[in-house]
Amino acid sequence: MILKDWLEKDKYDVDFIYEGLLLDLSYYLKQFMLEKGLNKKQLAERMGVSPAYITKIFSGENISLKTVAKILSALEVDAGIQIIDREKLNYKTAPNRNLFKLIKNNREKVNESEVFTTAA
């Protein structure tokens, strides 16, 4: 099965959507950190948590909307959520979102070099 077919087959899978949302969230939060000139340690200080906790958040751990709100507050960003159909709109997702999910799950035996060659 080629990468495109595999991604197409799983695009409505609950876990696929969930992982994609986490990756998008992590990506955009990191972009806000860059815009504010903050690293993870500085963000942790602003939030009153350990740097390890920030690393855990950005590693794809399940985080609550309350935690997201705390991060946004520390970044001094007021954000909202817009749920859209990516197939109907040109929506920017986190770079390599689909590729990350494919490798992480590795549901079928996949030659990693083929995955990267196909995705490029």
Torsions phi, psi for 52 (to 5 deg): -60, -35
pLDDT of residue 110: 45
**Residue that is written with structure tokens 């990468």 in the block:** 3
DSSP assignment of 46-77: HHTS-HHHHHHHHTT----HHHHHHHHHHTT-
pLDDT of residue 41: 94
Domain ranges of the chain: 3-119
| pLDDT tens sequence for the chain (120 residues) | 676 776 677 777 888 888 888 888 888 899 999 999 999 999 999 999 999 999 888 887 778 889 999 999 999 999 888 887 767 766 566 555 555 555 555 544 444 444 444 343
pLDDT of residue 52: 92
Could you tell me the pTM of the whole model? 0.64
Instruction: Write out the CATH class of domain 3-119.
Output: mainly alpha
* CA diameter of the chain: 47
